[in-house]
Amino acid sequence: MTLPMIQIALDQTDLTSAIEVARRVESFVDVIEVGTILAFAEGMNAVQTLRHNHPEHILVCDMKTTDGGAILARMAFEAGADWITVSAAAHIATIGACKKVADEFNGEIQIEIYGNWTMDDAKSWVDLGITQAIYHRSRDAELAGVGWTPADLDKMRQLSDLGLELSITGGIVPEDLYLFEGIKAKTFIAGRALAGEKGRETAEALKGQIERFWG
Amino acid sequence: MTLPMIQIALDQTDLTSAIEVARRVESFVDVIEVGTILAFAEGMNAVQTLRHNHPEHILVCDMKTTDGGAILARMAFEAGADWITVSAAAHIATIGACKKVADEFNGEIQIEIYGNWTMDDAKSWVDLGITQAIYHRSRDAELAGVGWTPADLDKMRQLSDLGLELSITGGIVPEDLYLFEGIKAKTFIAGRALAGEKGRETAEALKGQIERFWG
């Protein structure tokens, strides 16, 4: 199994700032994400520009696609994305439409887990050939300073057991990575923690923990 | 009760085409929607431009907001949107964050109904002061031949009874409007049916049916 990767989420509201952050972190991240905020702020020009600036990185467009799957997926892949996100709340036909376009571009779909999803939903994603999902820590828990709950970890293990590689996000810190041992982790996603002054240090600490628990 | 309005969804992948369509339909639609596709294609420039071109119309930004509510809502309202859409799959804290920003701008939130939502979810939206929701057949479900079902109509009546005004979309044709009689309909949304050669005729037929069943 390949080791989990480090992903930066670019959620700036203007492309100029996002370009700067991406340049600053490119040497220590594997995956660059055009966040939903940046994509809505600047449109597909954000994806095109970051693709041009970072030809060797995996580039994700975080559209949280909920409908109009084929058109949105084509737009993002044509602009240069390698992966796009699709909402778990999308109709299965929408997810299928995205997958079909992704296959055409050798791209991948990541199911972004929000709302009242079920393990049966997850099985239907796997049946479509989807191999990735994104798991967020409960925003309430995060705001209340509560850590990853046993319920979170249990669901993540179940998704992992279904064969889904998980990208994990929501206040990711190096000290917490041991919690996810045994889970098929694709990436650990952070924004400000990687963009800030201590970004390189944080990335190195994350990589140390990844080596320890997945190496 | 005010009569249901006619809404055009601009789902072009470039702003130039969207501007043309909006100009062509402005005399017979009440609400102009920057669709998710257009918003992701061109960013908030699409909202700003359509606001500038159509100062008297209600302008919707269809973000299907799922996370990062406060920032996305502020971006859209600052660009000139009157209403923004928020996904039913969003955490209640995200919906609340959007509502708070909307209040600041005298804007409104429309809950866009996707995923495994429940009537308890709907009650929690109403408790936040939300007054609008969007009910539709998914574009992709529609393509898969899924029609308006008695279950759809029952759910719409329940939402309406909770006090939510509904915008209804997904292959809307004048002949179907009788199905929605008695439901608090805010708008009927169409894209190509209004943008095409027979757009004005379709709008007039819709208005005739609206007068008949809600007048």
Task: Categorize the per-residue pLDDT at B1 as very low, low, confident or very high, splitting at 50, 70 and 90.
Answer: low
Q: Are A38 and A11 in contact (CB under 8 A)?
A: yes
Reduced to 3 states (helix: H, G, I; strand: E, B; else coil), residue A113 is coil
Q: Is the pLDDT of residue B141 over 80?
A: no
Provide the whole-model pTM. Answer: 0.96
Nearest to A84 by CA among A167, A198, A171: A167
pLDDT for A9-44, tens place per residue? 999 999 999 999 999 999 999 999 999 999 999 999
pLDDT for A55-78, tens place per residue? 999 999 999 999 999 999 999 999
DSSP H or E segment with residue B58: strand B58-65
What is the structure's pLDDT at A1? 60
Q: Are B131 and B165 in contact (CB under 8 A)?
A: yes
What are the CB-based long-range contacts (under 8 Å, 24+) for A141-146? A142/A170, A142/A171, A143/B93
Q: Is the pLDDT of residue A139 over 90?
A: no
Beta carbons within 8 Å of B10's beta carbon, 6+ residues apart: B18, B21, B22, B32, B33, B34, B35, B38, B46, B50, B191
Using a CB-CB distance cutoff of 8 angstroms, which residues of chain A are in contact with residue B63?
40
Average pLDDT, rounded, for chain B? 95
Please give the share of chain A, as a percent, with pLDDT higher than 90: 93
Q: Which of A39, A96, A114 sits opposite B66 (nearest CB)?
A: A114
Q: Are B108 and B81 in contact (CB under 8 A)?
A: no
CB contact under 8 Å between A67 and B42, yes or no, is no
The CATH label, of 3.20.20.70, 3.10.450.750, 3.40.50.300, 3.40.50.720, for the domain at B5-214 is: 3.20.20.70
CA distance, residue A11 to nearest chain B CA (Å): 9
Q: Residue A170 CB: number of other CB atoms within 10 A?
A: 16
Task: Categorize the per-residue pLDDT at A179 as very low, low, confident or very high, splitting at 50, 70 and 90.
Answer: very high
Average pLDDT, rounded, for chain A? 95
Q: Are A187 and A203 in contact (CB under 8 A)?
A: no
What is the structure's pLDDT at B149? 84
DSSP H or E segment with residue A170: none
Task: Categorize the per-residue pLDDT at A132 as very low, low, confident or very high, splitting at 50, 70 and 90.
Answer: very high
Helix axes B199-214, B15-25, angle to 10 degrees: 60
pLDDT for B155-211, tens place per residue? 999 999 999 999 999 889 999 999 999 999 999 999 999 999 999 999 999 999 999
CA distance, residue B139 to nearest chain A CA (Å): 6
Q: What mean pLDDT comes out for the span A179-196?
A: 96
Q: Cα(B146)–Cα(B124) distance, rounded to whole angstroms?
A: 28
Give yes or no for B214 touching A (CB within 8 A): no
Give yes or no for A114 touching B (CB within 8 A): yes
- Tokens, residue B84: 């923004």
